[in-house]
Amino acid sequence: MSKHKILIADNNKGFLAELASFLKSEQYLVTTAESLDQAKKVLDKKYDAVILDIRLRWDRDDKDISGLMLAETVARGTPVIILTGYPSVLKVRRALAPRRKGLSAAFDFVDKEEVDEKLLPVLKDAIFVRDLKRGIEAAWKQLWNEEAPSVIALCRRHGLSKDDALAVWPQIFAKLAKAPIFVLKKTALRKWLIDQAILQIGAYMTNQRVGLKASSCDPTGEILLNEQLLTEMAAAAVDGKVSREKLIQNITKAIESLGPQQEKVMMLYTFQGASKAKIAKQLGITEKTVSRHVRDGSRQLRKRISNLREG
Amino acid sequence: MIRFLLVGNSRQSWLGVLNDAIKPLGELDVCREADTFAQIEKANYGVVVIDAGEVDHPEDLVLRLRSQRPLLRIIVVTSAPAWQLARRVLLSGATDCINKYADKKRLSAFLSDTVDRANSVSL
């Protein structure tokens, strides 16, 4: 049962009363403000989320964006949902585009005509995401409960056991906790999680592999993370002549046949999805050298894949 | 100098405007949607401009680019501006969503403003 505190500011008294009543019926603790001045007065209290109409001065003034301006003053960490009966590209940009410090004024933007179906899910997401950012355990547990099945299924598809999947999961969370703020917008969260899961599974499997001798390892479970190589592998596999395992074995062999430094670069680049800057820093070489190794290494891998295709 | 990448085969006339708008800021490369990720490996792009009319699901492309390059500035341009599109791409991590202005000065001002913005803040 929700006991979250919500502030709603709207100068349309009828709409405000209706919305407040609806949210109260959903067990929210609601404070209302009928004007810009009133909203400013009550904003110094703490809220779990703030819902602001854009036109707080006068509904008929199409230049009135006082609600948007007020959103920019709301304490960081309190999600703001912008509500309006007059949506436009300009207003969405003002609300959601990141400003100079990288933060947007609002968490989301809802058209008043869609309030019935959209506001409650957006509000729940806003509070959930805020809790994740604050590291509140219940939110992380909820995320685990909701997303664990799809992540475990993904791990299984890549040949990992359930135990391995459970070992990968904290790494995904650790990554998420350091993630840039944009990925924590509700629409992006789920897709981003799966993307991160694929990266972390790849890194996990590479680490497992590093613990074994290269010659004795079974590379069939490896995941290539480099987009270009993935595309080419897929192209080679399309005709059905070459199995995925054989492709990966050949790529692994090709990487192992490179010089020691180039091999390290290609391992990090191909299997861990590390950036060139990160590889350069890790190996103490210039980015230019990393680029050269990647270019030459990729050429060799492409050659091996095309040989396979021809064979 | 900043490197810009335009994703989508925009019309030549607008491409000319974009090129002129970018000249004071840096240089422009162009690629198809399918080549985006291969292209961003080739150079250190500071800004990716996505032509929403030439890409199947601009918000998905924004999200994937953002996952791989957290610091990249991503601008979605459209000749059919709609608040719903702007909302979707901004929630996916775009830095901005603007009209395909035919006025190079105006376009240049928008691009310049976007370049100045930091897009990612760690929690």
Distance of alpha carbon A77 from alpha carbon A136, whole angstroms:
13
CB-side exposure of A224: number of CA atoms within 13 Å? 22
Asked whether residue B15 is assigned to any structural domain, the reply reads yes
Contacts of B68 (CB under 8 A, 6+ apart): A227, B37, B40
Distance of alpha carbon B92 from alpha carbon B75, whole angstroms:
12
The pLDDT of residue A37: 94
Domain that holds residue A185: 137-210
Distance of alpha carbon A55 from alpha carbon A10, whole angstroms:
8
Contact at CB, A103 and B83, closer than 8 angstroms = no
Indicate the residue of B60, B86, B120 with minimum beta-carbon distance to A92.
B86
State the CATH number of the domain containing residue B50: 3.40.50.2300
Distance of alpha carbon B65 from alpha carbon B36, whole angstroms:
9
Q: Which amino acid is at A50?
A: V
**Closest listed residue to residue B60, CA positions, set A225, A187, A179, A186:** A187
A271 close to A224: Cβ distance less than 8 angstroms: yes
Contact at CB, A92 and B119, closer than 8 angstroms = no
Domain boundary among A210, A236, A256: A210
Contact at CB, A102 and B81, closer than 8 angstroms = no
Asked whether residue B121 is assigned to any structural domain, the reply reads no
Residue to test with chain B: of A113, A182, A193, A279, most B Cβ within 10 A = A182
Closest chain A C-alpha to B65 CA, distance in angstroms: 11
Encode A107-126 in three state secondary structure: CEEEEHHHHHHHHHHHHHHH
pLDDT exceeds 60 at position B90: yes
Q: Which residues of B are less than 8 Å from A192 in CB distance?
A: 63, 67
Q: What phi, psi does A9 have (nearest 5°)?
A: -120, 125
Q: How many C-beta neighbours within 10 Å does residue A4 have?
A: 19
Long-range (24+ apart) CB contacts under 8 A made by B103-111 are: B103/B17, B104/B17, B104/B20, B104/B21, B105/B21, B107/B17, B107/B18, B107/B21, B108/B20, B108/B21, B108/B22, B108/B24, B108/B25, B110/B75, B111/B4, B111/B21, B111/B22, B111/B25, B111/B47, B111/B75
**Closest listed residue to residue B23, CA positions, set B98, B112, B117:** B112
A287 and A255 inside one domain: yes
A234 and A282 inside one domain: yes
Distance of alpha carbon B18 from alpha carbon B9, whole angstroms:
13
Domain that holds residue B80: 2-116
Contact at CB, B93 and A184, closer than 8 angstroms = no
A186 and A226 inside one domain: no
CA-nearest residue to A276 within chain B is B41
Contact at CB, B64 and A102, closer than 8 angstroms = no
Q: Can you name the residues that pair with A51 across neighbouring β-strands?
A: A8, A81
A14 and A93 inside one domain: yes
CB-side exposure of A253: number of CA atoms within 13 Å? 11
Indicate the residue of A180, A187, A228 with minimum beta-carbon distance to B121.
A180
- Stretch B6-15: mean pLDDT, rounded? 84
Asked whether residue B53 is assigned to any structural domain, the reply reads yes
The pLDDT of residue A170: 72
A165 close to A155: Cβ distance less than 8 angstroms: yes
Q: What phi, psi does A48 have (nearest 5°)?
A: -80, -25
Q: How many C-beta neighbours within 10 Å does residue A1 have?
A: 4
Asked whether residue B63 is assigned to any structural domain, the reply reads yes
Q: Which amino acid is at A301?
A: L
pLDDT in tens, B24-49: 889 999 999 999 999 998 888 989 99
- Residue burial A211-225, b: 16+ Cβ < 10 Å; e: rest: eeeeeeeebebbbbb
pLDDT exceeds 50 at position B52: yes
Q: Which helix (H) or strand (E) holds A69?
A: helix A66-71
A126 close to A108: Cβ distance less than 8 angstroms: yes
Asked whether residue B123 is assigned to any structural domain, the reply reads no
Asked whether residue B10 is assigned to any structural domain, the reply reads yes
Domain boundary among A166, A195, A210: A210
Number of domains into which chain A is organized? 3
For chain A, which residues score pLDDT lower than 70? Answer: 1-2, 100-101, 156-160, 162, 175-188, 190-191, 204-249, 271-273, 302, 304-311
State the CATH number of the domain containing residue A35: 3.40.50.2300
A154 and A202 inside one domain: yes
Contact at CB, A89 and B97, closer than 8 angstroms = yes
Q: Which helix (H) or strand (E) holds A33?
A: strand A29-33
Distance of alpha carbon A302 from alpha carbon A292, whole angstroms:
15
The pLDDT of residue A284: 84
A88 and A168 inside one domain: no
CB-side exposure of A153: number of CA atoms within 13 Å? 6
Indicate the residue of B38, B83, B93 with minimum beta-carbon distance to A89.
B83
State the CATH number of the domain containing residue A243: 1.10.10.10
Q: Which amino acid is at A19?
A: L
Indicate the residue of A180, A188, A227 with minimum beta-carbon distance to B91.
A188
Number of domains into which chain B is organized? 1
Domain boundary among A133, A154, A174: A133
A241 and A302 inside one domain: yes
A267 and A247 inside one domain: yes
A112 and A195 inside one domain: no
